[in-house]
């Protein structure tokens, strides 16, 4: 049972609505000029970047191939440092474990840092339904919590919301402040959020964070953040709960550092995130602060079944969001259109891996196969190959005919609305229009001229797929 209702099966309708949403289109425009530009700069500044991608891929592959051994070693080291490890086979078990810890801690207020696996297991609704006053502490998560929306991006969850909308949301949500106060600038909004959340950090009985890495050699959890909310969450609460999926395991700190050199650069285009925090167990006898108890909830929820299959490569993903930041489809329709927790190219592969291709059959088609995602993926996940695999699977499940029909109706819909041919959506409309229009790659060639005419993002290094295709070096 998935805790979140998925609307991935209605992707074409979602996409259509997204393209028609003027406010969303304005918000998405910011993304395109932001992260990809900064990423390109910092990557150019690190000549070792490409070599590090190979190293990181090897580290993760090695870890996944020996995951059982590393998990057991990790668990033993957490226990040695005074922490507790809980194992959850699925979303429901994970939520039950977290709730039981909250209950034991007498928790009324729970602060929570951003965690994609918490979204995946539906933890938010689970806690809310049981009377917990849950407070999201990441600014973006806090904004969408107040707006009662799911995240639309895995690192900037409120990327779909404009400054004006946030101002309105804050004015409606925050009592006892001057109704005439200025909330038009991001500085005003940031300061108000800081003030509102400060009390909550100190009041919380339980603080929940995710983890970017779990380190086997020491039993440490690592969080990587910029705002400092994760650290306040885990330091000031009486109990710290880490919720992490199995594939966050990594053998040593040196291994984590190699991957960390890729993470922030790929993600936000920073050389290093502001805070990289390595945590080990609860407060020590002579510590002046820190949580009294430390729990880790290890979540499987479909990961073990991905091991040893063609989906294993996806378990290398470090959730940096480079793939969606560079994806023309994501850039045009935003994250909500994808209908579940993980949007963009990584979502188009991970979603069918986790909730089944029958529930997400359209997502592998939400691609122009331009290959940009794969080129920027720090972990060298073969995203296009995997999407193609799922595309074939969805045809086998009978999605092909339906999709072909939808593609044609989409095409006619867009063709009759010239306004939608804004530069940002051109590539995507082209991409969507080819949904299901033939299984052989040969049917793409007629679109080659449209591709180059409308392309509005940097060409992949070494030429476009189409150029390579024409040269005949198809693999």
Positions in 7-46 near other proteins (CB under 8 A): 27, 30-31, 33-35, 46
Residue from 156, 208, 314, 427 that binds other proteins (CB under 8 A)? 156
Q: State which residue, 50 or 128, has the beta carbon closest to other proteins.
A: 50
d(CA 367, CA 430): 10
Residue 173 burial (CB < 10 Å; 0-12/13-18/19+)? middle
Look up residue 323 and give its two tokens.
């793939």
Distance of closest approach, residue 353 Cβ to other proteins, in angstroms: 13
Q: Which CB, 261 or 391, lies closer to other proteins? A: 261
Residues in 332-371 that interact with other proteins by CB under 8 A:
none
Give phi and psi for 206, each to the nearest 5.
Answer: -130, 135
DSSP 8-class letter at 363? G
Name which of 155, 22, 37, 150 is nearest 425 in CA terms. Answer: 22
* Least distance from other proteins to the Cβ atom of residue 248, Å: 14
53 to each of 175, 275, 464, how far by Cα in Å? Answer: 48, 22, 21
Site size for other proteins, by CB under 8 A? 101
Region binding other proteins by CB under 8 A among candidate stretches 121-129, 160-168, 392-400, 464-472: 160-168
Query: What DSSP designation does 208 have?
Result: E
Q: Least distance to other proteins from the beta carbon of 345, Å?
A: 20
Segment 88-147, which members bind other proteins (CB under 8 A)? 88-89, 93, 137-140, 143
Among 125, 172, 305, 445, binds other proteins (CB under 8 A): 305
Residues 6+ apart with CB under 8 A from 302: 90, 353, 354
**The one segment of 13-21, 298-306, 413-421, 459-467 that binds other proteins by CB under 8 A:** 298-306
310 lines the binding site for other proteins (CB under 8 A): no
Q: For residue 415, what are the contacts with CB-CB under 8 A and spacing of at least 6?
A: none
Classified as helix, coil or strand, 461 is: coil
The DSSP result for 56-86, as a single string, is: HHHHHHHHHHTHHHHHHHHHHHHHHTT-EEE
* Contact letters for other proteins, residues 265-294 (x by CB under 8 A): ---x-xxxxxxxxxxxxxxx-xxxxx----
Of the two residues 238 and 454, which places its CB atom closer to other proteins in the complex? 238
**Under 8 Å between Cβ of 119 and 151:** yes
> In the set 7, 10, 61, 81, which binds other proteins (CB under 8 A)?
81
Q: Which of residues 231-260 bind other proteins (CB under 8 A)?
A: 231-232, 235-236, 246, 251-255, 257-258, 260
Q: Output 216 or 428, the one with its CB closest to other proteins.
A: 216
N-terminal to C-terminal alpha carbon distance within the chain: 39
Sign of CA dihedral 411, 412, 413, 417: positive
User: Exposed e or buried b for every residue in 176-187, given b needs 16+ CB within 10 A?
Assistant: eeeeeeebeeee
Closest approach of other proteins to the CB of residue 269, in Å: 10
Of 100, 125, 172, 309, the one binding other proteins by CB under 8 A: 309
Helix (H, G, I), strand (E, B) or coil at 332: helix
Show the binding pattern over residues 172-191: x = contacts other proteins (CB under 8 A), - = does not.
--------------xx-xx-
Q: Element (H or E) spanning 213, and its range?
A: strand 213-215
C-beta of 225: minimal distance to other proteins in Å? 8
Q: How far is the CB of 369 from other proteins (least distance, A)?
A: 27
Nearer to other proteins, 39 or 399 (CB): 39
Nearer to other proteins, 50 or 358 (CB): 50
Q: Which of 106, 308, 446, 462 binds other proteins (CB under 8 A)?
A: 308
């Amino acid at each position: 049972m998935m805790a979140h209702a998925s609307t991935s099966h209605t992707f074409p309708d979602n996409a259509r609505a997204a393209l028609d949403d003027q406010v969303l289109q304005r918000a998405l425009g910011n993304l395109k000029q932001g992260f990809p530009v900064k990423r390109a700069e910092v990557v150019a500044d690190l000549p070792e970047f490409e070599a590090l991608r190979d190293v990181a891929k090897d580290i993760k592959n090695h870890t996944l191939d020996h995951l059982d051994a590393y998990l057991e070693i990790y668990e033993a080291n957490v226990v040695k440092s005074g922490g507790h490890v809980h194992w959850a086979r699925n979303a429901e078990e994970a939520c039950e474990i977290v709730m039981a810890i909250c209950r034991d801690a007498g928790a009324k207020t729970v602060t929570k840092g951003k965690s994609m696996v918490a979204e995946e297991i539906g933890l938010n609704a689970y806690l809310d339904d049981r009377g917990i006053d849950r407070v999201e502490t990441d600014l973006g998560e806090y904004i969408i919590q107040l707006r009662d929306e799911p995240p639309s991006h895995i690192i900037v969850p409120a990327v779909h919301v404009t400054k004006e909308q946030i101002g309105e949301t804050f004015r409606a949500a925050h009592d006892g402040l001057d109704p005439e106060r200025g909330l038009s600038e991001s500085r005003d909004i940031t300061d108000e959020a800081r003030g509102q959340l400060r009390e909550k950090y100190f009041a919380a009985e339980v603080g929940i964070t995710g983890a970017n890495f779990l380190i086997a050699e020491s039993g440490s959890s690592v969080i990587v953040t910029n705002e400092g909310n994760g650290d306040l969450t885990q330091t000031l609460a009486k109990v710290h709960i880490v919720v992490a999926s199995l594939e966050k395991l990594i053998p040593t700190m040196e291994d984590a550092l190699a991957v960390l050199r890729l993470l922030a650069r790929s993600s936000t285009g920073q050389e290093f995130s502001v805070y990289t925090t390595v945590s080990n167990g609860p407060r020590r006898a002579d510590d002046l602060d820190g949580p009294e108890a430390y729990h880790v909830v290890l979540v499987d929820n479909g990961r073990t079944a991905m091991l040893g299959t063609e989906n294993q490569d996806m378990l290398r993903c470090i959730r940096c969001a480079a793939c969606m930041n560079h994806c023309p489809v994501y850039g045009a329709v935003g994250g909500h259109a994808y209908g579940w927790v993980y949007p963009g190219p990584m979502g188009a592969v991970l979603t069918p891996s986790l909730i089944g291709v029958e529930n997400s059959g359209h997502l592998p088609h939400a691609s122009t196969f331009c290959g940009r995602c794969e080129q920027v993926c720090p972990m060298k996940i073969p995203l296009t190959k995997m999407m193609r695999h799922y595309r074939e699977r969805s045809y086998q499940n009978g999605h092909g005919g339906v999709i072909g029909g939808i593609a044609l109706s989409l095409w006619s819909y867009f063709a009759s609305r010239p306004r939608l041919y804004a530069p940002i959506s051109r590539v995507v409309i082209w991409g969507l229009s080819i949904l299901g229009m033939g299984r052989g790659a040969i049917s793409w060639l007629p679109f080659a001229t449209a591709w180059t005419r409308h392309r509005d993002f940097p060409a992949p290094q070494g030429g476009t797929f189409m150029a390579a295709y024409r040269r005949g070096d198809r693999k």
